Structure 1
């Protein structure tokens, strides 16, 4: 009789995405890890004089911590994105009128999309964060181009009113980044690194797909 001395696979820790963003959910699915989604209860109001990068970093960590406190044994991902135009924070427009105003403001300008990532696990005491800035240069946009784009894609839930993964790419002249998925909402290179540090390696075992 043959004895199988192989060790059983070590179960992966439970993974939770602390975000309701469908863009972040779709990005995290690329890693083929099972994960759940939980909405963080966090006040996203900027502090007086808070710089865009500081705001994004603070909120990413706050989102991860808020969900991690409810699920202390899980590894929780939090993320936030703020568009930075010469030190001015630009968030999600929420309406056609505000989106139009944002794109008019950014026309012909260089904007840094500050995308922060945080990974927290209360049980292990792990809490790390990182920032993935992406510099985007917008073309000089006419009012008719702005209106055509907004009616076609309605990017009212996107910081900066442009979906680079869609028709919004036509608004841009250049993108500079070392973590390109950051512009969509979740910097996957940095996410993988923080997950490995937290004890969850996307390549450590056979992936089973997303449970989101």
Structure 2
């Protein structure tokens, strides 16, 4: 009788390019269910169903894995914002800022574990050039949006930096408070989609009173 063909082991299931994505997905799941403290290269490999040495193909250590998660998170957030812009087609700078803010909160609430890692600066080497570039891109995007509002005469040039700080503080605070459960515990009937939309609309109305 011919010998039955063995089922491939977990470590053989991934092409080299797919392994990185599988490991990041496994790390996401661990963070979401057990927190960042549960993440190690061995646990991520176990979660992904690959050999314990497989992560070494892409990450030197846990810090390297966390940097990859953070960088990928920033890139995914920017893409989510761009997708929101394509969908909503904002007519002016304030509309654009409202769209950007709503997409930020939506991404954070949909990806709480990844969002945490993006801002847990104690988890990785802050001098990593790739991480710095990815994080900086989000600030540049926000700053350019405020500049558009100024160029369209909705705000004064000298207010560029403070308006950027206010806008980021609101959406980040809303995201963090919702994820922590503090808002849900106080406003039991609130819906994050409606709250997100209303908060961003009110913020832009207050920031740009000349908005049409």
Higher radius of gyration, 1 or 2: 2
For the criterion TM > 0.5, the same-fold answer is no
**Greater relative contact order (Cα 8 A, min sep 6): structure 1 or 2?**
1
- TM-score of the aligned structures, taking structure 2 as reference length: 0.29
Which has the larger share of strand? Answer: 1
